[in-house]
Amino acid sequence: MAQSPQRESRLGRFLGRVGARYMRFVRATSKVTIEPPDIIERANATHPFILAMWHGQFALMPTLHELNGKNFRVSAMVARHADATAIRTLLGAFDIDVVLGAGANGRKRDKGGAYALRTANRLLGDDCTLSMTADVPPGPARRAGIGIVTLARLSGRPVVPFAVATSRFIALPTWSRMTINLPYSRLAYVVGDPIRVPADADAAALEMHRRAVEAGLNRATERAYALVGADIGRVTPPTPEASAGPARIGFALKTYRAATSLLGFVAPLLLAVRARQGKEERARRGERYGQASLPRPAGPLVWVHAASVGETNAVLPVIDRLLAEREDLSVLLTTGTVTSAAMARRRLPPRAFHQYIVLDVPKYVRAFLEHWQPDLGVFAESEVWPNLIVEASRRQIPLALINARMSARSARRWRWLSGFSRPLFSRFDAVLAQNEVLVRTIKRLGARNVLAVGNLKIDAPPPVVDAVELDRLRHALDKRPVLVAASTHDPEEEIVAAAHRLIQARLPGIATVIATRHPGRG
């Protein structure tokens, strides 16, 4: 049941007061070390500045303001939380004002970042020091965002790395390893050297200074934990890159593999039904069982798997480039649809050939890999088939996922099925994602080496066209208004047809072109 705003605000104020008293209790019962010893004099000389810290390591930051005798104004940038009242009350107990807002970090939801940036810049100009975390939820942790150096460039004020640590603490299992400092500890405050960003810094210079902030914060944090004799590893978020290798196959994936083994009994029936629907080539049905219809060529073989027409169009330039780089190389392209197979027949260059992808049944997959013995497996976009990946990894075949994409809904499903996602995504030796948001998403699923390199579909050359037909179409549409309905599904064509009739009353001669999502429905 939702709480009333009044009750929520009252509870927030109570929690904020308790939090402030607890922080003072921790400081009062702990043996304090300050590095450098003249930290107060340095702060007074540098004010106003941007005090930077890592997310999850800021719990005792307000006590630093009391340590300097509250000699100057301080504000803190805080993300918009449901517990904003508690945070505002807590910081207010240390005479620290609050600026609500945070960077979106590639997310669609507005976190008030633009407003916070403007407000922070104004406060720094009004002789107010600003404290903020350098890394932005939901991560990656310990990676400074571009926002903090952008603020430094706009304001002309330096970024000062800061860390605080206690010998006794609780590290929560959050993305940032949120740390609760405990009383009766050794306590260390560490402040690094100021980092100044020139007003004319371009994108390359901003990135250089972002890395400098990141390095400065890491040095300060390591030094703080060394001074108190605590294990920094307990508060360091794990990264997929740091893992020794692929994640262990657990119960969920073992269950899937056992269940798909039973699929072999009904596979002939399923394929027969699909053949009657025009979705399978009867003459090549054996390829679905791992029975190759072509011999393996001599020499190195790269296996590229794409789902259908769109993915095939995206990987064709990659295949061309691979073959151009290595004259001894052959490429096996696998897809799952009749239309993509027809495209492959028309457009694959010499030394490249097509087979239908094997059904994801363990014995079929083993037969497929035993025959082809690829030297490299390349999967396109979201083609993550558990048995294919596991069996290829067992044969020590390097695997790459290129042009990787994933919807928010699929990402939530994969995160919920972590028993599937981590063993699978950690088996890719490289993942080339379409953008930085997908990099973070796929890393959270267990991938170890993920880079953002752009979208192959955008960079792909235009599809091959029939010049005669194209010229005929241009003459037919000359000076006529045209409505294009692209990538349609049933029953969208009926809706488009109805719209055409309505528009035709106002625009006689309008031409409507329907391009169905699946070419076979044309």
Q: Is 311 one of the annotated active-site residues of the chain?
A: yes
**Count of Cβ atoms closer than 10 Å to residue 25 Cβ:** 12
**Count of Cβ atoms closer than 10 Å to residue 302 Cβ:** 21
Find the catalytic residue in 214, 287, 311, 383: 311
Contact 310, 339 (CB under 8 A): no
The 3-class secondary structure across 176-238, one letter per residue, is: CCCEEECCCCEEEEEECCCECCCCCCCHHHHHHHHHHHHHHHHHHHHHHHHHHCCCHHHHCCC
> 399 is written with which tokens?
């695997």
Distance CA 435, CA 440 (A): 9
With H, G, I as helix, E, B as strand and everything else as coil, classify residue 392.
helix
Contact 62, 91 (CB under 8 A): yes
Give which of 371, 370, 348, 344 is closest to 356, Cα–Cα: 344
Q: What is the DSSP letter of 307?
A: -
Phi and psi angles of residue 6, each rounded to the nearest 5 degrees, phi first: -65, -45
Q: Return contacts of 469-477, CB within 8 angstroms, 24+ apart.
A: 476/511, 477/511
Q: Is the dihedral of CA 240, 243, 244, 249 positive or negative?
A: negative
Q: Is the dihedral of CA 374, 375, 380, 383 positive or negative?
A: positive
> 283 is written with which tokens?
């003459």
Distance CA 311, CA 105 (A): 28
> 415 is written with which tokens?
């995160």
The rounded Cα 154 to chain-centroid distance in angstroms is 28
Q: Order of strands across the sheet with 376-380?
A: 352-356, 330-335, 301-305, 376-380, 399-404, 430-433, 450-452
- Catalytic residues, by residue number, are 311
